Structure 1
């Protein structure tokens, strides 16, 4: 059985692996459905996403944020991260597990580790959103104790109804 580990992405090699996973995540989102594709292209146009990838480590830098990487037998298979929205709130972003590693518990392990790190960092709440089409992600977050809520940020017009928003009190 493969060994699953979740750890902070700290080296440049780790961050490069996470960037690769983030691009795979964007590709996954775009290919998920014809309904979701325009939303992803609105939220993550290629140039904007590339700019985000350039500053990923800074945006999620310690001590206020973190980037985690899931590995199976030492190979990167997933990622997740958060950054501060305020002194009390952190937003979880880009929780993704490659297709070949789904079903291994990597998504749950990443999500739990993000919650634990946010608590240790002194946040009182974590927030996240996911597509209404991602029923598996919704079930995972609800199993972990996240509560559905309204939007917590400004969104492009017409996109709020495509997302589900969650919060978890730490």
Structure 2
């Protein structure tokens, strides 16, 4: 399994992988549609990055780093194909984000998630993320806010 930089050809897989997990647990929201509909414009062109996990040439996971005004990056749109959940791929994707943030001189990684996603919360905490107070967010499902300072 390889983790590669996003290319325009990955846009459809980035969208469908994310829509699949979101619609399994929640409802797709306006901000999801905006970001997933144009990842090049909404993430890459704004100084962010997207990483795609590939297995035998097929996309099986992804994660985005969205540049923040404070010098950090928001970890967003991380998902792994249902058949590979629990395989350690989520940890590999998160480690790639941590490494990329360090390479970019980021001040922190930030994320918003849901208290209903216990495996994801356990992963984030195991990788050094700590809870923050609630803040304003465009996502109805987000009720947990975390950061990992550098």
Structure-1 separation of matches of 2:55 and 2:125: 25
Q: Would you say the 8 A contact 2:71–2:108 is kept in 1?
A: yes
> Which residue does the alignment assign to 2:82?
99
Deviations 1:71-116 (A, max 9, x none): 2232211111011121411111111111101122110111110111
> Which residue does the alignment assign to 2:112?
129
For residues 1-170 of structure 1, the aligned pairs below 5 Å read 4-10=1-7, 12-30=8-26, 40=27, 44-45=29-30, 49-61=32-44, 64-151=47-134, 153-155=135-137, 163-170=143-150
RMSD between aligned alpha carbons? 2.2
Q: Which has the larger radius of gyration?
A: 1
User: Residue 59 of structure 1: CA displacement?
Assistant: 1.6
User: How many residues align structurally?
Assistant: 150
Counterparts in 2 of 1:128 and 1:156: CA distance versus 1, 3 Å: closer
Q: Would you say the 8 A contact 2:35–2:43 is kept in 1?
A: no
- TM-score by length of structure 1 reads 0.78
User: Residue 62 of structure 1: CA displacement?
Assistant: 5.7
SS at match of 1:28: helix
Extract structure 1 runs of 4+ deviating beyond 2 A.
Answer: 48-55
Q: For structure 1, which runs of at least 5 residues remain unmatched after alignment?
A: 31-39
Q: For structure 2, which runs of at least 5 residues remain unmatched after alignment?
A: none
- TM-score by length of structure 2 reads 0.87
SS at match of 1:155: coil
Counterparts in 2 of 1:51 and 1:147: CA distance versus 1, 3 Å: closer
